[in-house]
Structures are given as structure tokens and as C-alpha cells.
Amino acid sequence: MFDFLIHGFDVALTPLNLGLAFLGALLGTLFGALPGIGPINGIAILMPLAYTLGLPAESALILLAGVYTGAEYGGRMSSILLNVPGDAGAVMSTLDGHPLAKKGLAGPALGLSAVSSFVGATIAIIGLTLFAPLLARVAVMFGPAEFFALMVFAFSSMAVMMGKDPVKTGIGAVLGVMIAMIGVDSGTGVMRYTFGLAELYDGIDFVVMIIGLFAISEILLMLEHANRQDAGDAMPPVGRVMVSLKEVLYCKWAMLRSGVIGFIVGVLPGTGASVAGAVSYTTEKRLSDKENTFGTGDMRGLAAPEAGNNASAAGSFVPMLTLGIPGSGTTAVLLGALMLYNITPGPMLFSERPEVAGGLIASLYIGNIMLLALNLPLAGFFAKVLTIPRWVLVPAIAILAFVGVYQLHSDLMAIYLMLVIGIFGYLLRKLGFSLAPVILGYVLGGLMEDNLRRALSISGGDMGILWQSGISIGLWIAAVLLLVLPWLLPRLLPGKSPARA
């Protein structure tokens, strides 16, 4: 394990990869600070550019992973200063972060959130280092039937834990699976959802899908709200950013507990930082809020979700690297980045491409230190990003989106398809749907179908192969329990009626 990590640092400490890790951390913090941009849009915009620049796979992944972790740091800024979450993972940070800013403690709140993010991410990266290679050894025993059962478990986890409305989450995932089915069926040659268009025979390209669904839909939402007053007009002064040792020690148990919780939540497929932040905050409130100060500007109420959502970001790399299953919507995009380089994530990645897996894990250690060094002294500078007017921001995002897709495909049809998907994503968001289940369904749907075909081919069409092994049975039971227990427990616990639950 340590030899593997040392090899990873050999990769991550080259001048090119160090520079890319720093660039990813810087851009990620900027993307995270801007409300609505977040890590998915940032990665979607940079992914085609990294590929067309000819960066090696490990270097591109280090850059994009830096954007991911940097955006988790940056998302706290608008939550604390403006009471507007930078992304879904920063929602819980508004509850105590903004009241602290209104008390004149915006600077210490930003400093504490940076330290909490560092502690949570460090716990999770250590967990990733320890458990990812071990899980990869177990995953080598997975066959097509076990991987199919794992996909079912991932969809169950997503339906229960992602978003407030499980029905809309399920519908979004089904829409993603349907989009993944577009094109020629590789097994039978049947055309599926192509409507006679030759351009759809190969399906919808991942980059077109990601940029259209997230970046273009976000541009349309920005245009819709273009007449709103700039948020920066009401931004409180930042002042002193450095947090005192006494304040850090006051929140130490909140950070440590939430770091562990965030890592565990991040490892579960299809959850993400928003779930980790909510679970961390509610757990800490239950354990520590003896004086009912949470929600009024308690520093522990800020430290807990910040440590939790950053730990979840690092934890979500565990299923992506070892099983080829995205742990969150953002790692689903990173999974597509690996596929651009014809790299199949999974248990063999650690032995066949150790420079990719090891370099990524080592870069997370380096990037985490860089992010702390950036976010403590430069919080005031990053806060000024919130004052960028929309008339500058919207054209910049649009140019990057169009150039990225056209550089990759050199085909106007890809541009038209991106626009259609963007309008579709905009309509979904207007109807209250989260786009993360759509992209997870898109990524998992193709993998699920491929593994089902292989399993049935091995068994000669006998469905019993799907639950023959102990691993498959365990995953099927876990998937059923995930769906049933949230409904069943309130009815079994004494003194709680289903209506109250």
C-alpha cells in the first residue's frame, strides 16, 4: 500500500502535475464561489479542453479532481456571505454561516470553514488511501452478475438518499437510462430512439451530454434571472479571515465526527456532498446543541457540514476507482473523463494503470494543502468574485462550452444536440428535478445493460445467475433494505406514527 502511495507521489510531484493541481484548486475555488456553477459545471467545461490539449490521463484527472475539491471549498463563500449556496453541498452551511456573517464574523467564519474543510478532506483522503486498494482486491472477484447487483444497489441508494423527492429522483434516473439507450444496440443491431437520424446511431457523446445538461441549462437560468440585483451589493465585509486556535479547538469534535460521517456517506454510490452535509449537521446538532444555539450562528454548526461535504467529495472516489461506480454526480463526470482516455475504472485500474490511481490519490493530499494555503489568506479576494456581473459571466461560460464541444467533435450537429439537451435540462430544473440523478442514470444505465447481457450470456439466459453468489445476494438484500427501511422504521418505532415520520 505504501509503495503504491510513494509511486503516486512520484507522479503527482512532477512540475506539470503540481502546476495542474494548483490550477485545479484555484479554478475550483472560483467555480465553487459562484452560485450555480459548482464542481460539475466546472469539470464539464474544462474536460474537453484538457483532452484536446493532449494532457496525459493522470494529468487531466489531477486537474479535474483539483477543480472538484476546490469547488467544495469555494461553495461556502456565497453561503456565508450571501445566504446563497454555491452548490448543493453548501446548503447546510447557510444555517449557521450566514448568521455568523451578520454578527460581523464573516472573516472568522470563512477561516473556520476552510480549516473544517481541510480536516474533513484529510480524514477522507486517508480513508481512501487505506480502503481503496483493499476494496479493489475484493472487487476483482466480481463478475457480471455481481456488477449488475451493484448497479441495482446504486440506484436504490440514489433513490433514497439523493434529493428531497424520491419519486422525482427515480424519474430523473430513468430519463438518464433512456438517454443512455440511444443509438444502435450493440447486441442486436436494433436502432433505439434514433428517429431515423444517422447522427444518433452512435448515441449521445458524454461531453455533449454533460455540457448541455449542466452548463447550457445554467446559462439559461442565469439569463432568466439577469434582471435581479447583483448579490455583491449586499455582501457584508469580510474583515479578519484567520481563525483562532481557541475557535478551532471548540469545533474539533464536530470536525472529526463529521469527517468520518462524510467519508462513509461519500463511499455510498449516488449520494454526494449534499447528503453528507445534511447528515453531518443533524448528527452534530443532536449531539452538541444543548443550548439551542444551532441556526443562530454556532461555529460548530458551520464546521460540521463543511467537514462532512468535503470528506464526502474525497470518499466518492472510492467506488469510482475500485468499482467503476460514481459515488456522486461529479464523480460520474470524472468517470466520463477516464472513458475519454479509454481507461476503464474498476478493480484492475490499480494494477494496470497505477500511475492514474496513485497519482490521483497523491494529488488529493497535495491539493488539500494548496487549498488551505489559498483559502485562508485569499478569502477576501475570492469573495470579490461574487460581485462579477452576469453580463460578463454568462458569455464567458457560453464561449467555453461551445469551444469545448466543437474542439472535440468539429461537428455542428454536436453543438445543436448540446443546445437541445441544455433546453431539456433547463425544463427539468424549472420543474424541480435535480440533474444529478439524470447523469448518474446515464452513466450507470449503459454499464447495467452491458453486465446484464454478459451475465445472461454466461448462463444461457437463466436469470438465476443474478442471485447465485453470496456477493450478489448481499447486494440484493442491501438494495431492498435501503428502499424498505425508510418507510418501515417509522411504523415500527414506538410512539411515532407514520404521519409524524
Rounded Cα distance, 182 and 164, in Å: 29
> What's the 3-state SS for 94-108?
HHHHHHHHHCCCHHH
- pLDDT class for 198, splitting at 50, 70, 90? confident
The pLDDT score that the predictor gives to residue 188 is 76
- pLDDT greater at residue 7 or residue 142: 7
- The answer to whether 359 and 11 have CB atoms below 8 angstroms apart is yes
At 64 the pLDDT is: 92
Q: Long-range CB contacts (< 8 A, 24+ apart) of 405-412?
A: 405/48, 405/207, 405/208, 405/211, 407/48, 407/49, 407/52, 408/48, 408/51, 408/52, 408/205, 408/207, 409/205, 409/208
Q: How confident is the model at residue 123 (pLDDT cuts 50, 70, 90)?
A: very high
Residues 6+ apart with CB under 8 A from 437: 158, 162, 163, 169, 170, 172, 173, 176, 270, 329
Given a cut of 80, whether residue 364 has pLDDT beyond it is: yes
Cβ contacts of 434 within 8 Å, gap of 6 or more: 88, 162, 163, 168, 169, 172
Distance between CA 9 and CA 11 in Å, rounded?
Answer: 5
**What is the arithmetic mean of pLDDT over 460-481?**
85
Q: From CA 162, how far away is CA 175, in angstroms rounded?
A: 16
pTM for the complete prediction?
Answer: 0.77
Per-residue pLDDT of 54-102, as tens digits, reads 889 899 999 999 999 888 888 778 778 877 666 666 778 888 888 888 8
Write out the DSSP string of 98-150.
HHHHHTT-HHHHHHHHHHHHHHHHHHHHHHHHHHHHHHHHHHTT--HHHHHHH
pLDDT at residue number 498: 41
pLDDT of residue 424: 92
d(CA 38, CA 40): 6
Contact 272, 162 (CB under 8 A): yes
CA distance 398 to 225: 16
Least confident of 130-139, 225-234, 423-432, 438-447: 225-234
47, 210 Cβ separation under 8 angstroms:
yes
Distances from the Cα of 397 to the Cα of 76, 127, 393, angstroms: 21, 35, 6
User: What phi and psi values does residue 305 have, to the nearest 5 degrees?
Assistant: -65, -30
The cell numbers describing 210, all together, are: 454533460
284-312 confidence digits (pLDDT tens)? 888 887 788 887 888 888 888 889 888 98
pLDDT at residue 336 greater than cutoff 90: no
Going by pLDDT thresholds of 50, 70 and 90, the confidence category of residue 118 is very high
The DSSP call for residue 461 is S
Spatial CA neighbour of 303 closest among 71, 114, 38? 114
Q: What is the mean pLDDT of the chain?
A: 81
pLDDT in tens, 387-440: 777 777 778 878 878 887 887 777 788 888 889 999 999 999 888 887 878 887
Half-sphere exposure of 101 (CA within 13 A, CB side): 26
Burial (CB count within 10 angstroms: exposed 0-12, middle 13-18, buried 19+), residue 393 = middle
Q: Which amino acid is located at 256 in the chain? A: L
Q: DSSP characters for 41-106?
A: HHHHHHHHHHHHTT--HHHHHHHHHHHHHHHHHHHHHHHHHHS--SSGGGTTHHHHHHHHHHTT-H
Label residue 497 by pLDDT band (50, 70, 90).
Answer: very low
Q: What is the pLDDT of residue 501?
A: 37
Residue 443 and residue 179 in contact, taking contact as beta carbons nearer than 8 Å: no
Q: Which of residues 189 and 180 earns the better pLDDT score?
A: 180
Contact between residue 63 and residue 50 where contact means Cβ atoms under 8 Å apart = yes
**Cα–Cα separations (whole angstroms), residue 240 to 93, 118, 205, 211, 373:** 19, 19, 47, 38, 16
Contact 372, 64 (CB under 8 A): no
> In the chain, what percentage of residues exceed pLDDT 70?
90
Maximum mean pLDDT: which of 64-78, 150-164, 187-201: 64-78
234 pLDDT band (50/70/90 cuts)?
low
Residues 6+ apart with CB under 8 A from 182: 192, 193, 194, 200, 203, 204
- Over range 225-232, report the average pLDDT: 52
